[in-house]
Structure 1
Amino acid sequence: MADERAGLKSLLRGAIVLGLATALFTLVNPFTSDTDKYTPNQAGICQQVAPLSPTNKQVEHFIRDKTESPAYHKEIINKLSKIIQIPSESYDDLGPIGEDPRWDVFYQVEEYIKAQYPTVLKTVQLDHANTHGLILTWEGSLPASEAKPILMLAHQDVVPVLPDTVSDWAHPPYEGYFDGEIIWGRGATDDKGYMISILESLDLLIKSGFKPKRTVILAFGCDEEISGENCGRPISDFLYKKYGDDGIYLIIDEGSVGIQTEFDQSFAMVSVAEKGYLDVGINVTSTGGHASNPPDHNVIGILSEIIHEIEASPFPGKVTHNNPMFGFLECAAVHAPPSSFPNAVRNQLSQVAKGNTKAQQQLAHELDHLRYYFRTSQSVGKINGGIKINAIPELASTMINLRLAVETSIASVQKHYEDLIKPIADKHGMVFEGFHSAYESTEVHKISLFGVDALEPAPVSPIDAESFRILSGTIKNTLQPLDNNQDLIVTTYLMPANTDTKFFWPLTKNIYRFTPINLVLNLNRAHTVDEFIRASEFVREPLFFATLVLNADDVA
């Protein structure tokens, strides 16, 4: 018995030593625990729904047969080409609608829609928000109190084409040229292809004889590219007055990535949030004079010092579980080929989920090619100063565009800038006016900060909602992976830019931004020379949108 007790004591001592050693190892190397949670094909992580087919097979077959027809492809390609020919550009300096004649081009867009979609216009109620915001409502048989409407957004406007770049285009930007494979022109991807596709989906559904239970709404802004105040906000106000808080079932709008390959796996990337937005203005003022008697540092030099300090102090990056990109990384960890997903990333995911700050920072460092999905970006976009070479300038100014990380806020970004710039003002003996100065100083020698178009990061839309499952099942049913030897994985993602959805937050939590095509090659062509869309991708979009309407109607 004594020997047994001695053996038991020895065993316990060994267990205690082993436990202490394990605990110490975990403290020293915190990225070693729970790594098996993110092994390939792990159950419970990034679960995928089955393809969802509408119950109305007759309508589904009608739409599939139509959208697979070469004659139909020719027809809708021509429609997109023709609407590209309408140069519906929106400019930062546009005056009010009705006063600035540059808005009048949107009358042409409306007339084109009416001419091309007479069946739709005979069926829906067309309303206008601030003249050029278009709202098309197809009333369902059930009231909104029983079946909330589905809302599909697009925008009519495009970014201007710089005259100096016209000769750089493979084909004229407003010709809408189709070369047999690619449709070229401003708006092909952003966002006239999307607008034509959702119009087509309604046209097909109406012609199939389908009668919706759930109301379907299409809404087209006229100024999404310049922040949406003239049409995006009025459209939202119109719909909010009609449907109220949480009155919409689901909103879908353009997404920035669509279907992509990451870690050698095809993903359908649904953006469930957007980064915040802030333009920061900085004015540096002082006395002027003749250039023959300059100060040691004039306003241009001081502004340059400020810009240098800003660029030398970027916002830190970190990956947290609050960021939809974390959900994407989880999906990749369990669904991507094991050899393609870095172990350095896999081994840190559990610690990131637990809030380990070091792991959050290290993971952002590992994924530096995705840095601006994890940090606030800052870009100096405008600078002005001086009007004559032999005169000391009295004012120099700059504007900086920031896209705010999901974990940050306008207030924290403003404080960061104040902390950077106030010491420079003190160094030069200048008055410093922060973003919220109580009064404007009459002192000539000063540095002033101000914010423009401030927008907090968007709320994260739920992925456990019925609407997200309907969207996911529709994606699985209608879209294909880029590699036919693998599944298409639906994942959450983050929109690094902003859409008109920023005005619609009160209408629903279920806001999803997704473009149902392969955007691998044309992703970076929007807003620049040679914007295009592949015809083979574009012609499949109406099937996706029509099926989404049918599937949403099935659960009404």
Structure 2
Amino acid sequence: MPPLSNEKLATSSRTTTRLPPVVWCGLIVIVTLLSFHVRPFISLHLIAQYEEAGTKICPQVDNLFPERNAETWAGARERTASEAFKMRAIDWLAGAVRIPTESFDDMQAVGVDPRWDVFATFHAYLAQAFPLVHGNLKLRKINTYGLLYEWRGSNESLKPVLLTAHQDVVPVDPSTADSWDHPPYSGYFDGTRIWGRGTIDDKNGLIGILAAVESLLQIGFTPTRTFVMAFGFDEEVNGLEGAAQLAKTLLATYGEDSFAFILDEGAGLIEMFGIVAAFPCVAEKGYLDVVVEVTSPGGHSSIPPDHTSIGMLAAMIVEYEDNPHQLQLSRESTPYRTVQCLAKYSPTMSPAAKRLVADAAHSDAALAALGALLSKDPLYRTQIGTTTAVDVVRGGVKSNALPEAAYAIVNHRILAESSVAAVRAHDTALLAPLAVRFNLTYTAFDVDISSPGARASGMLALRDLDAASALEPAPLTPTDGPDAAPYQLLSGSIRAAYAARRAAGGERGNYTVPVVPSTMLGNTDTRYYWALSRHIFRYGHGNSAGRGPEDAQKGMHTTNESIDADDLVEGIRFFVMLVLNADEWLMV
């Protein structure tokens, strides 16, 4: 049997398996691990000293309320606080959920595969639901179903802002339909929550953006800064038809580094360690799918060799799992900064854990101990290392025939401090001894590793699954220093929106929420937008809206996906706040 082609592998090609927002940002495990008392490495290092030194650790900006746009904000705040607006927001999202814009791994090109046609129905719904948006903004459709809105501002010297979301949803497995409390495409509202596929991934974000713009247009607001909205339609399966094509148009229209900042889906407000914190993701891991293929002579299974293709491949799979990438918790990494922020602002984290986090800033031994502690949980381990998962195995066609070929697809999520080249080099070196042991010729990523002229009893080959497989870790978004103005704008808007909801609800107290930079473990449509801005954020303000991390991921990519109606409204209010603040802030 000849080596398997990429075409033959297409049916096994990856789904862009995206983790729930909370899992993306690796937060649940921090709660578990750092709640325990750990032995301090420097016993005399007092918490008071840490707090004094911590003034430069995880600094927070003040709540940022619109000033020049204060009157507009007052009108929008009053409008979004009404029960009538809440019911309208529910109807907006419920109507979007009722249109099953599913995307599948095996989708063919637009114009060829009729399963794309449902997006035309979705577009008609959006035009009907948001008449002011479609009457006042310029709309271009890219590759038929990609939506690109432009809300032209009066001052073209200001960089525009790009707000993004995706129209597609993960398909509902028909065998699970009876497991839903309410039908998955019903948009059912039970008096508290809206139910259905897309309510938290990501039609809530798309509807939130359009609802915010529609509301501002109703008030009569006209922007000074240009705002652009880009909505892809195949984010769940790699984004090549949607965001990739939108990115080409955006780059041709606006140019490189042309946007003040970009905001896409991500984690939101989570309660842990006695506080509610916001977790915008400012880093995103890379991605690589590697095909490991072994070929050897076939024949009748009554006369087997010592090792069949499947047996040799099994040894290689074991080698992968027994030799993971080395974990790296560095002081410059986003995961360390995440833990620093939690240690600084949490009133309930154990003093010993706080000391360990503080000591790690200057003690290599403490840093190693903190990394070892965090790595005990599989979830946080993914934050501080490149991961390896053998996800697909194929080989053999008949029980009495020796397999001529067998292959596995190995998925890597690449640490921000690493690279695609480093992962390829790791894999190449890892399997080299097995190629020698089994007497296989060895080709790795188009490079012949075998000794010239060597006789072999088979072949081992490593290669990328497809051209779209390799993705470098995303550039890190600045969060401090002279280039951090967009992060400060986002942070101040998050804090102000959080305070506005609590004040509107009659709550008393200091409505502050620390903003904690975090890392995205999965990949979003922003992978195609790197050239457009150095400031890319992955954040969903309405996601969980201050409940525990376990609640934030319920229903994501599974049964009973739903969102609290008050969270939906808070997400809309956040987009209003962000637009008004970005419109008047000349620093970005």
Instruction: Flag whether TM exceeds 0.5 (same fold).
Output: yes
Matched residue, 1:471: 490
Per-residue displacement from partner, 1:126-155 (whole Å, max 9, x unpaired)?
012211110000000011xx1010110000
Q: Distance in 2 between matches of 1:66 and 1:40?
A: 43
Q: Return the TM-score normalized by structure 2.
A: 0.84
Matched residue, 1:189: 200
Q: Kindly provide the amino acid, as one letter, of the partner of residue 237 in structure 1.
A: K
Change (3 A) 1:129 1:513: same
Q: Distance in 2 between matches of 1:275 and 1:474?
A: 26
Matched residue, 2:135: 122
Instruction: Say whether 1:52 aligns with 2:61.
Output: no
Change (3 A) 1:518 1:93: closer
Instruction: Say whether 1:362 aligns with 2:373.
Output: no
Per-residue displacement from partner, 1:455-504 (whole Å, max 9, x unpaired)?
11111111132211111111111115999877311111111111111111
Q: How does 1:376-455 map to 2 (within 5 A)?
A: 376-438=386-448, 445-452=458-465, 453-455=469-471
Matched residue, 2:527: 502
Q: Distance in 1 between matches of 2:260 and 2:43?
A: 41
Change (3 A) 1:59 1:274: same
**What displacement does 1:402 show?**
1.5
Instruction: Say whether 1:90 aligns with 2:103.
Output: yes
Q: Distance in 2 between matches of 1:467 and 1:270?
A: 12
Q: Distance in 1 between matches of 2:372 and 2:528?
A: 33
Q: Distance in 1 between matches of 2:195 and 2:150?
A: 31
Q: Tell me, yes or no, if the aligned pair for 1:154 and 1:219 is still in contact at 8 Å.
A: yes
Per-residue displacement from partner, 1:89-114 (whole Å, max 9, x unpaired)?
11222111111111111111211111
Matched residue, 2:251: 240
**What displacement does 1:443 show?**
7.0
Q: Kindly provide the amino acid, as one letter, of the partner of residue 288 in structure 2.
A: L
Q: Distance in 2 between matches of 1:485 and 1:445?
A: 71
Q: Pick one of 432, 446, 462 that aligns with 2:478.
A: 462
Per-residue displacement from partner, 1:162-215 (whole Å, max 9, x unpaired)?
222222222222222222222221111110011000000100111111110000
Q: Kindly provide the amino acid, as one letter, of the partner of residue 340 in structure 1.
A: M
Q: Kindly provide the amino acid, as one letter, of the partner of residue 151 in structure 1.
A: L
Q: Distance in 2 between matches of 1:536 and 1:329?
A: 29
Q: Distance in 2 between matches of 1:349 and 1:132?
A: 50
Unpaired runs of 5+ in structure 2?
1-40
Matched residue, 1:555: 585
Q: Distance in 2 between matches of 1:168 and 1:40?
A: 52
Q: How does 1:12-411 map to 2 (within 5 A)?
A: 38-39=50-51, 42-55=54-67, 56-143=69-156, 146-255=157-266, 257-337=267-347, 339-341=348-350, 343-344=352-353, 346-351=355-360, 353=361, 356=364, 358-368=365-375, 369=377, 370-411=380-421
Q: Kindly provide the amino acid, as one letter, of the partner of residue 347 in structure 1.
A: L
Matched residue, 1:8: none
**What displacement does 1:296 show?**
2.1
**What displacement does 1:346 show?**
3.2
**What displacement does 1:343 show?**
2.2
**What displacement does 1:379 show?**
1.8
Q: Tell me, yes or no, if the aligned pair for 1:274 and 1:406 is still in contact at 8 Å.
A: yes
Structure showing greater radius of gyration is 1
Moved more, 192-201 or 157-166: 157-166
Identity rate of aligned residues, in percent? 37
Q: Tell me, yes or no, if the aligned pair for 2:392 and 2:410 is still in contact at 8 Å.
A: yes
Q: Distance in 1 between matches of 2:124 and 2:522?
A: 30
Q: Give the RMSD, CA atoms, in angstroms.
A: 2.5
Q: Kindly provide the amino acid, as one letter, of the partner of residue 81 in structure 2.
A: E
Q: Kindly provide the amino acid, as one letter, of the partner of residue 261 in structure 2.
A: L
Unpaired runs of 5+ in structure 1?
1-28
* Corresponding pairs, count: 523
Q: Distance in 1 between matches of 2:185 and 2:414?
A: 34
**What displacement does 1:511 show?**
0.8
Q: Tell me, yes or no, if the aligned pair for 1:35 and 1:347 is still in contact at 8 Å.
A: no
Tell me the secondary structure at the aligned position of residue 364 of structure 1.
helix
**What displacement does 1:316 show?**
2.4
Tell me the secondary structure at the aligned position of residue 139 of structure 2.
strand
Moved more, 498-507 or 438-447: 438-447
Q: Distance in 1 between matches of 2:363 and 2:255?
A: 37
Change (3 A) 1:32 1:287: farther
Q: Distance in 1 between matches of 2:351 and 2:302?
A: 61
Q: Return the TM-score normalized by structure 1.
A: 0.89
Matched residue, 1:492: 517
Q: Kindly provide the amino acid, as one letter, of the partner of residue 220 in structure 2.
A: G
Q: Distance in 2 between matches of 1:50 and 1:282?
A: 52
Per-residue displacement from partner, 1:400-433 (whole Å, max 9, x unpaired)?
2211111111111112212221211211111111
Q: Distance in 2 between matches of 1:444 and 1:542?
A: 63
Q: Distance in 2 between matches of 1:115 and 1:313?
A: 55
Moved more, 327-336 or 109-118: 327-336
Q: Distance in 1 between matches of 2:103 and 2:508?
A: 40
